[in-house]
Structure 1
Amino acid sequence: MTDPTLMVDLARLDFAWITTMHILYPPLTIGLAVFLFFAELRWLNTRDEGWYRLTRFFERLFVINFGAGVATGVTMEMAFGILFGPFSQAAGPFFGNILGYETITAFMYEAGFIGLMIFGWGKIGPKMHLFATFNVAFSSILSAFWIMVANSWMQTPTGVHLERGLFLVDDWTAAIFNPNFLTAFPHMLVASLEIGLFFVAGVSAWMVYRNRQGPLFLRTLTASLMALVIVAPLQIAIGDSLGRSVARHDPAALAAMEGHWHTYRADGSPNTNWNVVAWPDPDQGTNAFEIGIPHVLSLLEDHRWTSVVPGLDRFAPEDRPPVVIPFYSFRIMVATGFALFFIALWALVLKWRGRFSVAALQQRPWFLRLVILSALLPFIAVWTGWWTREVARQPWLIHGLMRTSEGVSQMSIPAEILWFIGFFLFDLIVWLGTWYFFGKVVRHGPEEGEAPRNDAPGMPLGTLPKPESDAETSPTFIRPTA
């Protein structure tokens, strides 16, 4: 039983589920690894045992997330060959090599140091351990580099030519540093830092809110939110650059993201709006309704008050991407990004006014609850950003060179469904297990043991410094109720 359209749709749905679940873990791995390096560096510089305990605590969360990322990553690489065999074969000369580089230069590199980072406490010197932590962070970034090279090349395939059904590489530099990669990789890298920092902030806010070692976790709450004052607006700026790159190299994708059907000159005349809300109607080639703002689309696309804005009417119907998903997922991503920025800005105001102590924050439970919730928002932003990126590229698997229908494996519908059920259950079990162990680690809290003393120059290791005030640790201090 074979229905070509249904076969393509099932393959896309299956791979969409796999990538949606997998992309939860690598960005957090990168963000947490970078945070662990700076937390451990803080411990070495101050010899304050509190930073040692915080580093060990968040390292346990890192290990759980890292394992989930490896498991779902293996599943995704399997899915390339199972669901998209013709694509894997045709793009192998470039795509396969890039994934091979990722394995050799990043994954194996990371494997060489992650054991030292996890099990090396007290067995190797603190400086060597810091070096191992740095290399885990660096190798995780290097892994993201190669993965984004491969995916960005599918968006803007440069440096290759098609010969006998294979995409042969003419210029490796042009293929690797393709136009989409130059902004997409920084965008994903900063998103990873944002996820890691908000994850740390959310866990820390929970501990402060529950009055569980509040003075200790105030350190990571403060450090992460103050770093986000820089990271969050930086992400917005890089996202703007990525949007302009999409407008230059894939105007059909940009038109789908904006629900923009008709080419016009953005001069303020009727129907020259950026659509805040709309309901696209692909059958009619227009929006059933829309609420827009004049000139904003031109300003967003090329930072000019008036310009020619290509619409979907410039492309043949069979070359137009779906509109509803990119339109709304793009807006959710942008709204989430600005919300995260304003949360960081609120924290900065509280810090500037001297209201960022445990006692003061517990008198503002809504702020703490908001920060706890914010730990989930970056994942929503990454999800919706990835959906925008991948769906807006359709109907192309390799933009302009290979359609999705040409790259799908030929298998029966029952086989497609069976693979979908298998992948669905596996990724769901990994996700549930990840959150179960996250909760277990957070409930347990940091370990009470002392930091290792070998090769530890500087001030002696001791207990936590005295809290800012007795009120913060007094047994009579009552946590605010939910």
Structure 2
Amino acid sequence: MDLGLTALELARIQFAFTVSFHIIFPAISIGLASFLAVLEWRWLKTNDPVYRDLFKFWIKVFALSFGMGVVSGVVMSYQFGTNWSEFSRISGSVTGPLLAYEVLSAFFLEAGFLGIMLFGWGRVGPKTHFFATLMVAVGTCISMFWILSSNSWMQTPQGFTIENGIIIPQDWFAIVFNPSFPYRLAHMAMASFLVSALLVAATAAFHLLKGRRDALVKKSFSMAMWMILALAPLQMFVGDLHGLNTLEHQPAKLAAMEGHWETNKDHGMPLYLFGIPDMEAEETKYAIGIPNLGSLIMTHTLDGEVKGLKEFAPEDRPNSLVVFWSFRIMVGLGVLMILMAVLGAWLRKTDKFYDSVWLHRFALYMGPSGFIALLAGWFTTEVGRQPWVVYGVLRTKDTLSPVSAEQVGLTLIIFVMVYFIVFGVGIFYMLKLMRKGPEFIHSAPHSEQAVIQASKRPLSTIDDENDLNKENPKQDQENQK
């Protein structure tokens, strides 16, 4: 089976494919877990059934995303042994413990309380159930902490020595809290919350466009838009800080992101809005830029010096064409998020927030933007690190397992087929749930009869509340108001 690619190229494509599929599910889980904790807290505080009903709806989406995230993560991790065994052998003494800490401190916490969160409704007290939900939310954030610490160490490694070709940890505090870690953790956390907020907003916008104006849809749309308004501008600010950190610790990546080839010695660096970086010609063709703005953003001065890609050996340069455009896709979508949130805030004052068709369409079309921006950001990060797997220490080509292109190509084809079938079905069902939308529940959440029925049908606890009191249309009408 000759695909015209080397084993190294195919292994990189395979890992990029599996990690791209995987990352969208933890992002949903992290954001929705916190959203569910807020909904349940508001229900306990106000006794407003709208919060309870929204919780019962979004927990279904969370359960699906959490399950698919676990499965895709396990598959991805096996590739460290199959395709990248040299990476595990050389740097496993650092990355191995960090991933083990994630399992011990986060995964066990999530697994321990997930059952209560999903199946304990009506079996345990309301405060106990809320505590379980809170622990799952905390667990997802702890998991993100350790994963980002491991990946950030690969970007900005420190706290180690090399003995006989093996990386040996010396200072675990320096390893965990490496220079890029705080910025990347904050950036990923807000990206996850934005992914979920945009998903909630798009779902509510879909039903607003269909004519629904009940409390469930309005509350969903309002909460999501407030979250986007708060986080989207803050994400841009954190991204700017992350860029300054990248300029200091990974200047080749920064130069590739900007399509910047010549170091600007006596003039400001322009910010290219458009261009096609050519790695062979060592120039950015058809460049359209704003003079001095690149220096202003990167150095906070109009004529600040920024290293160009020609300062680095050709074999040490990341692919500028990929990261140039992935970075601009991420930033462009971030600007659209801010624009949508600001427009939504303005329409709140004009009392057209729930009746503006064009805002609802804008929110619906922006639903996938969180995922696209997330993937674009990760492509910028990972492709920009090349040709290093541990930046400046270990090259990607030196970490490959002794496998042939035929072996990796065959498994890649199998991965693609299985992933699109298995996860395609999961995503289809998730979209089907969101298309159906949240529904009003008419039964008491902790009645004795509900507990008895739940014990007979455990999965009903994450499905709609049992319809014990559907004969009470008056309560239904009150809720829909």
TM-score, normalized by length of structure 2? Answer: 0.91
Corresponding residue for 1:388? Answer: 380
CA distance in 2, matches of 1:227, 1:444: 23
Bigger Cα displacement from structure 2, 284-293 vs 84-93: 284-293
2:409 to 406, 417, 428: 417
1:333 counterpart residue number: 330
CA RMSD of aligned residues (A): 2.1
Q: Over residues 53-112 of structure 1, what are the superposed CA-to-partner deviations in whole Å (9 max), with x where a residue is unaligned?
A: 111001101111111111110111011111111001111111011111111111111000
Partner of residue 291 from structure 2, selected from 294, 305, 312 = 294
Q: Is the 8 A contact 1:50 1:463 kept in 2?
A: no
SS at the partner of 1:450?
A: coil
8 A Cα contact 2:201 2:221, kept in partner = yes
Q: Which moved more, 1:436-445 or 1:57-66?
A: 436-445
1:452 corresponds to which letter in structure 2?
A: P
Give the equivalent residue in structure 2 for 1:371: 363
Paired with 2:127 and 2:417, the residues of 1 have a C-alpha distance of 42
Residue 322 of structure 1, aligned match among 305, 308, 319: 319
The residue type paired with residue 200 of structure 1 is V
Change (3 A) 1:420 1:138: same
Quote how far apart the aligned CAs of 1:444 are: 4.0
> Paired residue for 1:476?
none
* Match of residue 426 from structure 2: 434
The answer for the alignment partner of 1:480 in structure 2 is none
The answer on whether the counterparts of 2:203 and 2:437 sit within 8 Å (CA) in structure 1 is no
Q: Which residue number in structure 1 is paired with residue 262 of structure 2?
A: 262
Residue 34 of structure 1 and its aligned partner are, at CA, apart by: 0.6
Q: Distance in 2 between matches of 1:308 and 1:441?
A: 52
Equivalent runs, 1:460-475 vs 2, <5 Å: 463=475, 466=478
Q: Distance in 1 between matches of 2:183 and 2:266?
A: 26
* SS across alignment from 2:385: coil
Measured after TM superposition, the shift of residue 413 of structure 1 is 1.5
Deviations 1:168-223 (A, max 9, x none): 10100000000111200100001111111111111111122223463321011101
The 1:464–1:301 alpha-carbon spacing in structure 2 relative to 1, beyond 3 Å, is farther
Once the 2 structures are TM-superposed, how far is the Cα of residue 11 of structure 1 from its aligned partner? 0.8
Distance 2:371 2:403 in 1: 33
2-side partners of 1:393 and 1:290: how far apart?
24
The one-letter amino acid of 1:280's match is P
Counterparts of 1:51 and 1:18 in 2: how far apart (Å)?
35
What residue in structure 2 maps to residue 353 of structure 1?
A: 350
- Deviation sequence 1:264-301 (CA, Å, 0-9, x none): 13635xxx422111111111211222111111111111
1:312 correspondence with 2:304 = no
CA deviations on 1:353-390 (whole Å, 9 max, x unpaired) are 22234xxx1xx322112111211001000010000000
In structure 2, the partner of 1:274 is: 271
Deviation at 1:454, TM superposition (A): 6.3
Q: How many residues align?
A: 456
Gapped runs of 5+ residues in structure 1?
Answer: 456-460, 474-482
Quote the offset at 1:463 in angstroms: 3.5
Structure 2 residue aligned with 1:252: 252
What's the CA shift for 1:302?
1.8
TM-aligned CA deviation for residue 248 of structure 1? 0.4
Alignment gaps of 5+ in structure 2:
449-471
Residue equivalent to 2:236 = 236
Distance between the aligned counterparts of 1:16 and 1:133, measured in 2?
32
Q: Retained in 2: the 8 A contact 1:266–1:295?
A: no
Whole-Å separation in 2 of the counterparts to 1:91 and 1:30: 28
Q: Is the CA contact 1:86–1:408 (under 8 Å) kept in the aligned structure 2? A: yes
Q: Deviation digits for residues 115-141 of structure 1, max 9, x if unmatched?
A: 101101111111111111111111001
Offset of residue 226 of structure 1: 1.2
Note the C-alpha offset of 1:5. 7.3
Separation (CA, whole Å) in 2 of partners of 1:283 and 1:187? 33
Q: Say whether the 8 Å CA contact 1:49–1:464 is kept in structure 2.
A: no
1:75 aligns to what? 75
Paired residues of 2:194 and 2:227 also in contact (CA < 8 A):
no
**Which is further off, 157-166 or 327-336?**
157-166
Q: Distance in 2 between matches of 1:464 and 1:145?
A: 43
Partner of 1:479: none
- What is the alpha-carbon distance in structure 1 between the residues aligned to residue 435 and residue 329 of structure 2? 32
Opposite residue 93 of structure 2, the aligned amino acid is P
Mapped to 2, the partners of 1:257 and 1:393 lie a distance apart of 11
Q: How many Å separate the matches in 2 of 1:80 and 1:427? A: 19
Q: Secondary structure at the match of 1:23?
A: helix
Q: 1:454 to 1:41 in 2, by over 3 A?
A: farther
Give the partner amino acid of 2:270. Answer: N
In the alignment, what sits opposite 1:130?
130
Contact map agreement 1:49 1:463 (CA 8 A) in 2: no
CA distance in 2, matches of 1:266, 1:142: 46
Query: 1:2-52 CA deviation, whole Å, 9 max, x = no partner?
Result: 999711111111111111111111111000011001111111111111211
Is 1:94 equivalent to 2:94 in the alignment? yes
Q: Partner of 1:279: helix, strand, or coil?
A: strand
C-alpha distance in structure 1 between counterparts of 2:213 and 2:349, whole Å: 23
Please report how far the alpha carbon of residue 442 of structure 1 lies from its aligned counterpart in structure 2 after TM superposition.
2.7
Counterpart contact for 1:266–1:298, Cα < 8 Å: no
Deviation for aligned residue 1:317:
0.9
3-state SS of paired residue (1:186): helix
Conserved 8 A contact 1:37-1:130: yes
Q: Contact conserved, 1:276 with 1:293, CA < 8 A, in 2?
A: yes
Distance in 2 between the 1:451 and 1:312 partners? 65
3-state SS of the aligned residue for 2:289? strand
1:202 aligns with 2:202: yes
Alpha-carbon contact 1:393-1:399 (below 8 Å) kept: yes
For 1:334 and 1:140, how far apart are their aligned partners in 2? 26
- Is the partner of 2:24 in helix, strand or coil? coil
Structure-2 separation of matches of 1:392 and 1:64: 32
- 3-state SS, counterpart of residue 288 of structure 1: strand
- One-letter amino acid of the counterpart of residue 286, structure 1: E
Identity %: 38
* Deviation (angstroms), 1:449: 4.0
Which amino acid counterpart does residue 306 of structure 1 have in structure 2? D
